[in-house]
């Protein structure tokens, strides 16, 4: 019974540590964004409407009035922090999936 209790505590401790790492990564990613990149991220997630979806950066850029490069840079920063996963689909756009639930 003691061994089982210790395993449960260890598992719980690992979950808490992972959650803290996730929060730190998200916080760091958000703090690294410029003002225009933050605005771009807001519009990107409005466009997605969920945890994953297809994004056409040029359409968002035209609608919001920012350059496509701002959107691309914002996505790269979030991806390098491990917050999202993105895959280019060429002319069809970019598939985006949120990896961190807390984002």
Decide if pLDDT at 99 tops 90. Answer: no
Confidence (pLDDT) at 25: 82
In this structure, is residue 58 part of a structural domain? yes
Distance CA 58, CA 48 (A): 14
Cβ atoms 61, 41 nearer than 8 A:
no
In this structure, is residue 2 part of a structural domain? yes
Q: CATH no. for residue 43?
A: 1.10.10.10
In this structure, is residue 44 part of a structural domain? yes
Cβ atoms 41, 33 nearer than 8 A:
yes
In this structure, is residue 103 part of a structural domain? no
Rounded mean pLDDT, 32-56: 90
pLDDT digits (tens, 9 = 90+) for 45-86: 888 888 899 999 999 999 989 999 999 999 999 998 888 999
Query: Who wins on pLDDT, 28 or 70?
Result: 70
Confidence of residue 102 (pLDDT cuts 50, 70, 90): low
pTM: 0.75
Confidence (pLDDT) at 12: 93
In this structure, is residue 53 part of a structural domain? yes
Decide if pLDDT at 103 tops 80. Answer: no
| Structural domains of the chain, count | 1
Domain that holds residue 23: 1-98
Query: Assign residue 53 a region: left if phi > 0, alpha if psi is -120 to 50, beta otherwise?
Result: left
- Who contacts 59 (Cβ-Cβ below 8 Å, separation ≥6)? none
């Amino acid at each position: 019974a003691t061994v089982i209790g210790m395993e449960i505590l260890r598992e719980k401790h690992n979950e808490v540590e992972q959650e803290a790492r996730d929060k730190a990564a998200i916080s760091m990613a958000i703090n690294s964004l410029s003002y225009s990149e933050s605005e771009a991220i807001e519009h990107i997630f409005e466009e997605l409407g969920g945890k994953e979806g297809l994004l056409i950066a040029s359409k968002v850029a035209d609608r919001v009035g920012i350059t496509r490069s701002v959107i691309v840079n914002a996505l790269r920063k979030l991806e390098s922090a491990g917050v999202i996963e993105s895959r280019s689909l060429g002319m069809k756009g970019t598939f985006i999936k949120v990896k961190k639930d807390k984002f």
